[in-house]
Amino acid sequence: MASTTITVTGMTCGHCVSSVKEEIGELPGVTDVRVDLASGRVEIDSAAPLDAEQLRSAVAEAGYEVVA
């Protein structure tokens, strides 16, 4: 089990949170996604470490950006 934490910018509401959770949740091996709207913090549990580029792409697909 691996755990990854990222910060996502641009989320302003519950729908934003749902979009990010859905896109990240579709990545292979992801078992849980927790999003804190106020801070933009996203915690992801997965079976194996996630590829940073895949993670950025999933967040971008939802319409947001990972803070570098």
- Distance CA(47)–CA(53), nearest Å, equals 17
Spacing of C-alpha 1 from chain mean position: 17
Cα–Cα separations (whole angstroms), residue 53 to 9, 14, 26, 50: 16, 25, 14, 9
CATH number at residue 46: 3.30.70.100
Chain segment 35-67, per-residue pLDDT in tens: 999 999 999 999 999 999 999 999 999 999 999
* Domain region containing 25: 2-66
Which pLDDT band, with edges at 50, 70 and 90, does 28 fall under? very high
Number of folded domains in the chain?
Answer: 1
Amino acid at 31: T
